Structure 1
Amino acid sequence: MSLEMMEQIIEVVFAILILLGAVIAVISVLGLIRLPDVYLRSHAATKSATLGVLLILLGAFFYTWFVHDFFSIKLLLGILFVFITSPVAGHLNARAAYRSGVALWKGSVRDDFREAIKQERQLEIEEIKNRN
């Protein structure tokens, strides 16, 4: 196998990574359109969009590294920041929606957060009473 052929194979692999990331991002959009409530939509947006963006950035990072011999710190930092911040932002958005009273979808099976909120509110009330 010649060096030129190996380079072409590597380019195809990185292009597949980028295309797979784009397909997963499209699936995320379909989830945003089709899912019934804010919590499921947040889940679709957070999980699949994060994976889609990470695959696109990874494909671009490896392409620039192996094909152009350029190690891009910006792409690497972008991958790191998306990996860390996107799930946290999705969680905080869903938590804010729950705390502001957005109802769960009628087909939701469990609501584990309700009991935790009740306990937290009881503690806050007791703390206020103790201050006075």
Structure 2
Amino acid sequence: MLHPAVELLVSFLLLVGGAFALVGSIGLLRLPDIFTRLHGPTKATTLGIGAVVVALLVHTTAASGHLSLKELAISLFLFITAPVSAHVLAKAALKTGRKD
């Protein structure tokens, strides 16, 4: 059984992560061109998934009693690959001349 403060923190992080992911997904659908659409998944959704992974890290650490390196590896991979993929997509859009 987890401490109620840990459960509250995990719940809060999951709600924040879900809200950021929702806003990022809506931005991906509603923004007009590819360059502004890149902000949705790379900014808001990355923060949303990051908050969910931190919630998982807090829950796993509190439940098992030791720090889990899997969640740290997931967050590191996420925060490295998202900006790199956005940069590659923006460069490809510039090179091909696509604006939609």
The reply to whether TM is greater than 0.5 is yes
Q: Quick one: which amino acid aligns to residue 8 of structure 2?
A: V
Would you say 1:77 and 2:73 are equivalent positions? yes
Higher Rg of the two aligned structures: 1
| CA distance, structure 2, for counterparts of residue 76 and residue 103 of structure 1 | 36
| Cross-structure match for 2:95 | 99
| Cross-structure match for 1:115 | none
- Between the two proteins, the alignment pairs up a number of residues equal to 100
Q: Which has the higher contact order (CA 8 A, sep 6+)?
A: 2
Provide the aligned C-alpha RMSD in A: 1.8
5+ residue gaps, structure 2, are none
Would you say 1:49 and 2:51 are equivalent positions? no
- Matches of residues 115-126 of structure 1 in structure 2 within 5 Å? none
| CA distance, structure 1, for counterparts of residue 99 and residue 25 of structure 2 | 22
TM-score (normalised: structure 1): 0.70
5+ residue gaps, structure 1, are 105-132
Runs of 4+ in 1 over 3 A off after TM superposition: none
TM-score (normalised: structure 2): 0.90
Percent of aligned positions that are identical: 34
More displaced, 95-104 or 51-60? 95-104
* Cα contact 1:35–1:41 (8 A) shared by 2: yes
| Cross-structure match for 2:82 | 86
* Cα contact 2:6–2:58 (8 A) shared by 1: no
Q: Quick one: which amino acid aligns to residue 28 of structure 1?
A: G
